[in-house]
Amino acid sequence: MTATPRDSRVSILFVCLGNICRSPMAEAVFRHLTKYDTKSSSPLIHEVDSAGTGAYHAGDEPDTRTMSTLEANGITHYSHAARKFVSDDFQTFDYILAMDDDNKVYLDRMRARLLKRNGIEDSKLGKVYLFGEFGGKSKEEEVIDPYYGAQDGFEIAYEQMVRFSRGLLKRIEEGQQRLDGA
């Protein structure tokens, strides 16, 4: 369900490969910045979630290094169970934010197939973006998967999540219903 002039609140889905490192971290950071699910939450945000393009870790909690990085930065009340991205997510979320080019390509292809097979109007499906487009040092800035690395990779990812989330929130607050400028 995409945002309409009647309902300017937006729904956001963060997507990485396994949904245990980057996308849950992005979800937690964005929820924290917008005070999602609190009495003082942003009136512009309808829903925030995360998913993975693969089902490798479906049902698992976030990686312990993700959680320790969040906790070290004051985000202590976050829980999540990994899930796989499904085609219905295109109709549920306005903005689908991929952590890297590989996941963006996967999501773009899935969206194109959905449009072609089901004859759904383009405006009825959420749009796919590289998360780095919002506050990145360049439009192509990716969040490198820290899964196979050390703790510092998670700290770098956290810094990116904060920067990108602030950029995304700024664009939403500026009243851009469609982040592509249309």
As annotated, the active-site residues are 16, 22, 145
- Number of residues that this document lists for the chain: 182
Which amino acid is residue 58, in one-letter code?
A: A
The answer to whether residues 83 and 58 touch, using CB atoms and an 8 Å cutoff, is yes
From edge to edge, which strands make up the β-sheet containing 45-52?
Answer: 45-52, 10-16, 95-98, 127-130
DSSP secondary structure letter of residue 138: S
Long-range contacts of 107-111 (CB under 8 A, 24+ apart): 107/15, 107/53, 110/85
Opening angle at CA 37, ends 55 and 46, nearest 5: 70
Which helix (H) or strand (E) element contains residue 76? none
Burial of 156 (0-12, 13-18, 19+ CB in 10 A): middle
Question: Beta-carbon neighbour count of residue 41 at 10 Å?
Answer: 13
